[in-house]
Structure formats: structure tokens, C-alpha cells
Amino acid sequence: MSIIQVEGLKYKYPDTDQLALDDISFEVKQGEFIGLIGRNTAGKSTLCFALSGLVPHFFNGGYGGKVFVNGLEVRQHEVGDIAAHVGLVFENPFSQMTASKYTVFEEIAFGLENMGVERNEMITRMDESLDLLDITSIKDKHPFDLSGGQMQRVAIASVIAMKPKILILDEPTSQLDPQGSEEVFKVVENLTKEGITIIMAEHKIDKLAEYADKVALIDHGKLIDFDTPAKVFSRDDLPDYGITAPTATRIGKALGIKDSKTDLFPVTIKAISREIGDKL
């Protein structure tokens, strides 16, 4: 059974005349890592809202179709109940801070307290996610006295610590330094090994090519493609959707070098280096 099922999802923000999501259908299996790509205003964030119930419960407007997460139909359940199954990391970390906690440590605890996680377990999980995001050294700072990147790390840590079955991340690395971004992709990949399902909107195509199991390409609210990174990134019409291919794919195409494993253009630095290495 699929852990996420989206059937004919349509959505329009109030007072607008364009559909932000236009007849989207797809299914995701447990433990998959799905990358969400598309130009700005394609509808990535809106889809993230729809999967976590903020659409339609917080954003009104026109809604059609069905979304199931872990067996719950999103529309029929309150956001609070969906939150037990689905974690959401916001695009803007500042918007995610509860503003009612005095330290980073307490901020991260907030979700766990709500879930009724027992205190010792809570602290173990929090220490773990502080460590994963490399923010142990700022755990006693006030959540608003942080740099942008530090706040983004706190936002991610606070959701990861909740161990939701489905984890949705909306451009979680937009303010992270390069090594921090890489770490987040690694952390998230490790979570899939524990059976956690990942949906991640990202502009970092190179990284998605390396880590994602599948990529969903969205444009003007429509799902254009939903396939393996190799297939999606070797499409010739990517630029029409405002996307550049990964560095490896661009080089591969320019040189006419394919990945011998997939018979498509290579998408990762490893693959292109291997193929070119063989030819040199």
C-alpha cells in the first residue's frame, strides 16, 4: 500500500483566478525519497501544504480531489491529528519558530511535548537531532538570536526529532552552507532507511540527482513528470520548465557521454567521472 496517495488534487488560493495545483495525482511508497522540482511559483510549497493539511484547513480557497497520508484523508482530519503522521519543515524557518520558547533546546522539545513523548526519550531524541544538524553549541540560545542558517537547522531538527512517518521539507537547505546542505541530504537519506518517507522541494538539482529515489516535476500547478532522477533529468525540454539539468548531465550531453548503467545521460558527479574516466 502507498503511504501517500494524491488523486486529482486541485487547489486555488482565495481571491486568485489561477489554479495553484491543477489535477495532480501520484503515489508514494513507504521509505521513498521524493524530490520536488519546478520553477518559482510552480506550486511546490502549495503541494507541501496540501500534503500536511494546511491546505485546505488554514488556506481556504477552492479545493478538489483527495489526498491520503498514512491512510488518513487530509480533508477529513484536523491539522493537529495529521501532524502525528506528517512533519513539515517550512520554506522560511522564521515562520516555524513557536515564539513561545526561550531556548533552541525547548523549541525543539515543543513538538515532542505535544506528542506526549516520555521525557527521557525526548531528551535522547533531541540530543540526537541537535547533533545531526550540528547545533549542539547553540542549544541554549534564544531561537530568534540566530543567524538565518542556524535557524533553518533548528527548524529541521525540531521536525526530525518528532520522527514523523512522512517528512516534508520545503527547500530546507536554502540558507545552509554547502557542507550543511550535504549533511541534510545525508541525514534525510538515513531516515528513509528507518522507513520514513521523504518529500523534499529543492532547487539543488545536483544533490537531488544523487540522493532522491524519484523526482516530481511540477509546472504551473501540473505534475509534468514523476520518475527516477535519471529519466526526468535527461528530458530535453527541462529548460521549458525553468530547470537546468544537473552539472553531470550538462557535461554528459555536451560530450555525448551516457551512463552505461542506465543508457541515459549521467546525473551524478560520480557517474560522469566514471564514464569519462573510462574514455580517457
Partner 1 sequence: MNTIQVNNLHFSYTPGSSVLNGIDLELDQQTTAIVGQNGAGKSTFVKLLKGLLYPTKGEILFKGKNTRDYTAASLAKDIGLVFQNPNDQIFKNNVISEVMFGPLNIGQDDQEARHNAISALKKVQLDDKLDTNPYDLSLSERKMISIASILAMNTNIVIFDEPTMGQDFAGKEKLKEIIWDLRDQGKLIICILHDMDFAAEVFERTIVFNQGNVLADGPSREVFKQKNILQQAHLEQPSITQIANELGLDGNYLTDEELIQALKEKMTS
Partner 2 sequence: MSTMTLYVDKKSFIHHVAPLTKLLYVMVSIAITYIIPKLEFVLFVTLTSLLILAIGKVFRKILPILALSILLIISIIIVQGFFHPENQTVLYSIGFITFYKEGLTFAALLTLRVLNMIMSFGILILTTKHDELVEDLIKKGMSPKIGYVLLSVLQLIPQMRATMGKITDAQRSRGMETEGNLLVRVKAFFPLIVPVVLNSLHNTRERAIALEVRGFNTKMKKTFLNLSKEYQYTKTIQSILWAILIVTIAWRILS
Ligand X SMILES: Nc1ncnc2c1ncn2[C@@H]1O[C@H](COP(=O)(O)OP(=O)(O)O)[C@@H](O)[C@H]1O
Please count the other Cβ atoms lying within 10 Å of the Cβ belonging to residue 4: 22
Phi, psi (degrees; rounded to nearest 5) at 158: -70, -25
Q: Which of residues 192-231 bind partner 2 (CB under 8 A)?
A: none
Phi, psi (degrees; rounded to nearest 5) at 102: -95, -20
Stretch binding Mg ion (CB under 5 A), from 38-46, 116-124, 215-223, 269-277: 38-46
Q: Are 26 and 32 in contact (CB under 8 A)?
A: no
Stretch binding partner 2 (CB under 8 A), from 34-42, 92-100, 131-139, 201-209: 92-100
Among 71, 148, 178, 195, binds Mg ion (CB under 5 A): 148
Q: Does 72 bind partner 2 (CB under 8 A)?
A: no
Q: Does 178 bind partner 1 (CB under 8 A)?
A: yes
Contacts of 105 (CB under 8 A, 6+ apart): 126, 130, 139, 140
Residue 54 beta carbon to ligand X: minimum distance, rounded to whole angstroms: 10
- 3-class SS string, 171-191: CCCCCCCHHHHHHHHHHHHHH
Q: Which of residues 133-172 bind partner 1 (CB under 8 A)?
A: 138, 145-150, 152-153, 171
Among 8, 62, 148, 178, binds ligand ATP (CB under 6 A): 148
Among 149, 163, 182, 269, binds ligand ATP (CB under 6 A): 149
Phi, psi (degrees; rounded to nearest 5) at 72: -95, 135
Residue 79 beta carbon to partner 2: minimum distance, rounded to whole angstroms: 4
C-alpha of 55 from chain center: 17
Which residue carries 513523548 as its cell? 117
Which x/- pattern over 210-239 shows residues binding partner 1 (rule: CB under 8 A)? Answer: ------------------------------
Contacts of 104 (CB under 8 A, 6+ apart): 130, 135, 138, 139, 140, 141, 142, 143, 146, 154
Q: Which does 116 bind (CB under 5 to 8 A by kind): Mg ion, partner 2, partner 1, none?
A: partner 2
Q: Which does 145 bind (CB under 5 to 8 A by kind): Mg ion, ligand X, ligand ATP, none?
A: ligand ATP
- Contacting residues toward partner 1, per CB under 8 A: 13, 15-16, 38-41, 45, 91-92, 94-95, 138, 145-150, 152-153, 171, 174-182, 203, 206, 242-244, 247-248, 250-251, 254-255, 269-270, 272-273, 276-277, 279-280
